[in-house]
Amino acid sequence: MTEKDFILKKTNLSSLNKGSFTWKSPSNIALVKYWGKSEPQIPKNASISFTLNNCHTTTSLEFSKKEKPNKDYSIQVIFEGEIKDNFKPKIKKFFKRIEKYIPFITEYDFVIKTKNSFPHSSGIASSASGMSALALCLISIEKELNPEITQEYLLKKASFLARLGSGSAARSIEGEIVVWGEHKNINNSSDLYGIKFPKKIHKNFNNYQDTILLVDKGEKQVSSTIGHNLMNNHPFAQQRFDQANDNISKLKEILQIGDLKAFVNLIESEALTLHAMMMTSNPYFVLMKPNTLKIIEKIWEYRKNTKSNICFTLDAGANVHVLFPEKEKEKVNLFILNELIQYCQNNHYICDTVGAGASQK
């Protein structure tokens, strides 16, 4: 599909005066990372992620026809019960990007009521779950205006719109493993939207666990926009994009044959490479904290001593995602509790698993 396929055809706008839709949409954790993009939110390499289950955003979108039509966006944002005018610029920027595809957004007054399942200051980015939940609410309006659209089109377009809000949000519509970015070895993959990993996944990866250790709950040190821009003129950029695409091919096999050892190796290398890109850009950043490294060392020690398949991955921050197969859950949870929680801010951590994607409420 091309970008043109997402432009809304004529609908009977007058048919819908007001209403409300609610969606719950998950966060996701990239296994092969997206870092570097070109306009408009086109990734420099394909990425692949686990959709999460417990970390999610629930958004209700109330809409009513404007009394006097105008070209402005009319938005009120209520986050966890409080009016948040400081959220508006980001949402208006998002609306500006998506107006071409859903022109009806200038016709309504919107009230966006949103909440996260994870604490606001946890260092967990809510942009993927937040933007995908909002995109799904907007797509529900389109479905109402144009009931002929299929579920398949609806999910693709939701991912397409979410991507224009935050790249990784394209991967937060469906579960359990999602690929975003055109890749020669993944049929039907696209730079425009995420797709479900198209092959059967080995049972070793069923219900995979992700325990998120909250090492630093502060605001992001480097915004996504600045972060992605670091890859322009980066001395290792092209090698990195090629490596990520190679890693997708490798991971495609690993996920099908259930090779946990190869998974551990690839996932940790991806995480460290993401951080290496930040350390070797100009300006340069170190986003890990001393406790991030302590946790990594402990994980390596535990793996050596027990032959566990535990591994870590990182986002663009200091928190650590500890990944492990469901069958190791009991033992690894004990290890996390006894040995790793001490490195978390206020001992805080979140237990999550791979999830099935967004759902309408």
Judged by the rule CB under 6 A, the positions of this chain that interact with ligand PMV are 30, 33-35, 47, 125, 127, 166-168, 224, 274, 315-316
Shortest Cβ 20–ligand PMV spacing (Å): 27
* Beta carbon nearer to ligand PMV, 72 or 242: 242
| Closer residue to ligand PMV, CB minimum distance, 141 or 179 | 179
CB of 84 to ligand PMV, least distance (A): 19
Element (H, E) at 148: none
* Residue 142 vs 216, nearer CB to ligand PMV: 216
Closer to ligand PMV by CB, 125 or 145: give it.
Answer: 125
What's the CA gap between 313 and 323, in Å, rounded?
A: 7
Minimum CB–partner distance for residue 148 and ligand PMV (Å):
31
Residues 6+ apart with CB under 8 A from 263: 205, 251, 254, 255, 309, 311
Residues making up the chain, counted from first to last: 361
Nearer to ligand PMV (CB atom), residue 22 or residue 57: 57
Give the whole-angstrom CA distance, residue 48 versus residue 63.
Answer: 34
Q: Is the dihedral of CA 67, 69, 72, 77 positive or negative?
A: positive
Do 146 and 111 contact (CB within 8 A), yes or no? Answer: no
| Smallest separation (angstroms) from ligand PMV to the CB of 225 | 7
Residue environment code for 18-56, b if the CB has 16+ CB neighbours within 10 A, otherwise e = eeebbbbbbbbbbbbbbbbbeeebebbbbbbbbbbbebb
User: How many whole angstroms separate alpha carbon 233 and alpha carbon 10?
Assistant: 43
Q: CB 274 → ligand PMV: shortest distance, Å? A: 6
Q: In the complex, what is the shortest distance from the CB of residue 333 to ligand PMV, in angstroms, rounded to a whole number?
A: 25
Select 6 or 35, whichever has its Cβ closest to ligand PMV: 35
Q: Find out whether 320 and 298 touch, Cβ atoms under 8 Å.
A: no
Q: How far is the CB of 254 from ligand PMV (least distance, A)?
A: 18
Residue whose tokens read 């992700």: 210
Number of H helices, E strands in the chain: 8, 14
Closer residue to ligand PMV, CB minimum distance, 167 or 357:
167
At 296, give phi and psi (nearest 5°).
-60, -45
